[in-house]
A and B are shown apart, each in its own frame.
Chain A
Amino acid sequence: MRIALFVTCLCDTLYPQTGKAVVALLERLGHRVDFPRAQTCCGQMHFNTGYRPEALPLVRGFADAFAGYDAVVTPSASCAGMVREHHRTLAVQYGEPELAAAVDRLAPRVHELSEFLVDVLGVTDVGAYFPHRVTYHPTCHSLRMLRTGDRPLRLLRAVRGIELVELPEAESCCGFGGTFALKNAEVSAAMLADKVRQVSASRADVLCAADSSCLLHIGGGLSRLRTGIGTRHLAEILAATEGAER
């Protein structure tokens, strides 16, 4: 199986440790991972902000960069959702049947990390060790767009040393919403305040999620209020092992 990592522009720039964790994890499970260097961004920011013509070349670029792989793994539910739900919309809207066909071939092979591990590789115990008290925030796009369900939690429960605590009102949005956080900054901040309150109430030391964008947002609030609660992407916890703890 030829596996490609789609690291996402956000992880690439701000959270390289998340991408490295995916590579380390998959290699530990006996797979080789490629990083096609032509990749950039799935176009979600442009698409979600209404700039569709600007997003189209990114759809093309994605289809070119990842054609020929059996599986594309990404540490972002929302980018996986963008590719699977909306790349086709764009190709069709701008009358590009060849691109639409390429998207149709590629999209089903694009997997968010927890989907790839549980559904494609069939593992839940990835041999990780992470001796910390962790709470998990199911991001909106993993929950309601990809419907990853309890896959991330099943993976986390199998981690050795971990103490998983429940996040109250876990399923409510953290308020990020991409450019929403700039266009409606106060409403976004009000939602963030509630999420920060619930994370604190969980008494966790680490907040985990499967989207770096939401972690950027919630982590930003946790840091601003000096809660001392850190954030870890799911991939980083699953990649952690005894003796090599991050």
Chain B
Amino acid sequence: MTRTAKNEPPGVVWLGTPHFPVAARTAVGDPQLRENLRRATTTIRSRRLAAVGELDDWEDLRTAGAAVKRAALRHLDTHLLRLEESVERAGGTVHWAADAAEANRIVTELVRATGEREVVKVKSMATQEIGLNEALSAAGITAYETDLAELIVQLADDRPSHILVPAIHKNRTEIRELFTTTMGQWGRPAPENLTADPAALAEAARLHLRERFLRARVAVSGANFACADTGTVVVVESEGNGRMCLTLPETLITVMGIEKVLPTFADLDVFLQLLPRSATGERMNPYTSMWTGTHDGDGPRDFHLVLLDNGRTATLRDTVGRQALACIRCSACLNVCPVYERTGGHAYGSPYPGPIGAVLTPQLAGIEHAPSLPFASTLCGACYDACPVKIDIPEVLLHLRARAVESKRGPLPSPEALVMKAAATTLASPRALAWAQRAAALGGRVLARRGVLRRLPGPLARWSASRDTAAPPRETFRAWWRRTHRRPGQ
């Protein structure tokens, strides 16, 4: 796998921020962020539970969704070629991009060819992943985000911190402040005396964005699904901004990860049930746009579909890790994750945060670029239970942890590797274990005060910073058994 070469830059933007444990430490210490996250995730969680609880066949739907996705990935090449054929038959053009740089180059050239210097954007994870806005900007093209939360993030010159609610880390007051001070620099300013009322904030964004929609001649979107048999591409959104971008401009460029292809149009059935309930806790999605190629006098006259690999084929080769490609980006795993709830998305250093980010980013970018992410979990399993396509995230985390450890093994073992090796040797024999237990009990009793260890040495100090530990008892279970059960052969 060429992408795992150390000197090669990752194809996923914005890695290399401090490693997760360091970034998380800062996030955990920010009470405003914690409050924003606690409120938002609690609300979405309970909405999802209610929406899912309404269906008797939810488990069957999950099983069906998982089966369709896994089957689609098994014959990905066939489906992609079929998709290309269908899209071109319907009047669209298909481009293949091996990595982020190639995708950015293709989109930039397509925009240049139109002579435009502005594009409107529908919220898209794939373009976040490849850093398209930055690439366009370097070519003198301005990309305007039109999803409310993405607009907030763009105005704040910030990074998204959630797949579905990219500005989840900001509250209403912060948004009001931001709109008042920055909207004018980008276009129509916020109304005077703007309040922090959600309706007022949405209205300010609506007015600001309206002129963009009417002026835009090129739009860039991602895709939630694409059907190989018909060539139909699907975008699922809830504000209507996507519908505007997908229908008004003359040129539409869609960047889509290759794993989004579904064999048939009929497969949408399960996913359009699974996605809204898992994502926002809605029974039905508000705006579902579907288009098949181009049509005279209706919608864009030029449609380009850029199929993005960027590490996906390499991920497919990993028989355990590949299930992460089944993800439909619903964010349910983020919302139920106790770690995400406390750190927010920025700590994950990638557009894909939370449990799915912890398993996807290291695979797309190469494990050496994100070695701490698979460890950003307690393995509590809440993500697996919530996932509408049954991705066994804990299993993939464990698998990637092993890969991370193996990739670091060298002639000089790390301190952690030495401790693990010593522990393995000790645990390999009951005799060595008993000896170590005696040593631990002795050390423990020396350090303990009134039977409690308040401060532990070395790396264990991180444990004892917030937790007491009872001093080890004088007699282990093993020793007790030996003393009380003197039966030979036991």
Contact of B477 among A7, A43, A175, A184 (CB under 8 A): A7
Q: A184-B21, A184-B24 are in contact. Are A38 and B430 (CB under 8 A)?
A: yes
Contact of B378 among A55, A58, A143, A177 (CB under 8 A): A177
Residues of B398-441 at the interface with A, using a CB-CB cut-off of 8 Å, are 398, 401-406, 416-417, 420-421, 423-424, 427-430, 433, 437, 440-441
Q: Does A1 contact B (CB under 8 A)?
A: no
Q: Does B465 contact A (CB under 8 A)?
A: yes
- Residues of B bordering A, CB below 8 Å: 20-21, 24-25, 28-29, 34, 338-339, 342-343, 372, 374-382, 384-385, 398, 401-406, 416-417, 420-421, 423-424, 427-430, 433, 437, 440-441, 452, 454, 459-460, 462-463, 465-470, 472-473, 475-478, 480-482, 485, 490
Contact of B420 among A54, A171, A177, A190 (CB under 8 A): A54
User: B473 contacts which chain A residues (CB < 8 A)?
Assistant: 14, 16-17
A144 and B427 form a contact (CB under 8 A): no
Contacts A/B (CB < 8 Å), 22 sampled: A17-B473, A34-B490, A35-B485, A40-B429, A40-B430, A43-B427, A47-B398, A48-B398, A50-B398, A50-B402, A51-B402, A51-B417, A52-B405, A54-B421, A144-B380, A172-B338, A179-B375, A184-B376, A188-B466, A189-B465, A189-B466, A223-B468
Contact of A12 among B398, B462, B476 (CB under 8 A): B476
User: A177 contacts which chain B residues (CB < 8 A)?
Assistant: 377-380
User: A220 contacts which chain B residues (CB < 8 A)?
Assistant: 463, 466-469
For residue B404, which residue of chain A has the nearest CB? A50
User: B423 contacts which chain A residues (CB < 8 A)?
Assistant: 45-46, 54
Taking A35-B478, A58-B424, A172-B338 as given, write out 4 further A-B residue pairs in contact, using a Cβ cutoff of 8 Å, ordered by the A residue number: A13-B441, A48-B401, A175-B378, A220-B469
A140 and B424 form a contact (CB under 8 A): no
How far does the alpha carbon of A191 sit from the alpha carbon of B472 in the complex, in Å? 25
B405 and A51 form a contact (CB under 8 A): yes
How far does the alpha carbon of A79 sit from the alpha carbon of B230 in the complex, in Å? 50
Q: Determine chain A's interface SS by DSSP, over half rule.
A: helix
User: B480 contacts which chain A residues (CB < 8 A)?
Assistant: 16, 19-20
For residue B375, which residue of chain A has the nearest CB? A183
| Smallest beta-carbon distance B343→chain A, Å | 6
Contact of B428 among A16, A40, A86, A186 (CB under 8 A): A40
User: B482 contacts which chain A residues (CB < 8 A)?
Assistant: 37
User: A185 contacts which chain B residues (CB < 8 A)?
Assistant: 21, 462-463, 465-466
A140 and B24 form a contact (CB under 8 A): no
Contact of B430 among A39, A143, A216 (CB under 8 A): A39
A37 and B481 form a contact (CB under 8 A): yes
How far does the alpha carbon of A36 sit from the alpha carbon of B485 in the complex, in Å? 11
A51 and B424 form a contact (CB under 8 A): yes
Contact of B28 among A36, A38, A190 (CB under 8 A): A190
Q: Does A61 contact B (CB under 8 A)?
A: yes
- Residues of A bordering B, CB below 8 Å: 7, 9, 11-14, 16-17, 19-20, 34-41, 43, 45-52, 54-55, 57-58, 61, 86, 140-141, 143-145, 171-173, 175-193, 216-217, 219-221, 223-224
Contact of A51 among B24, B381, B420, B490 (CB under 8 A): B420
Q: Determine chain B's interface SS by DSSP, over half rule.
A: helix
User: B477 contacts which chain A residues (CB < 8 A)?
Assistant: 7, 11-12, 16, 19-20, 35
A57 and B428 form a contact (CB under 8 A): yes
User: B421 contacts which chain A residues (CB < 8 A)?
Assistant: 54
For residue B336, which residue of chain A has the nearest CB? A172
For residue B460, which residue of chain A has the nearest CB? A182
Contact of A223 among B398, B427, B433, B452 (CB under 8 A): B452
How far does the alpha carbon of A1 sit from the alpha carbon of B405 in the complex, in Å? 42
B402 and A52 form a contact (CB under 8 A): yes
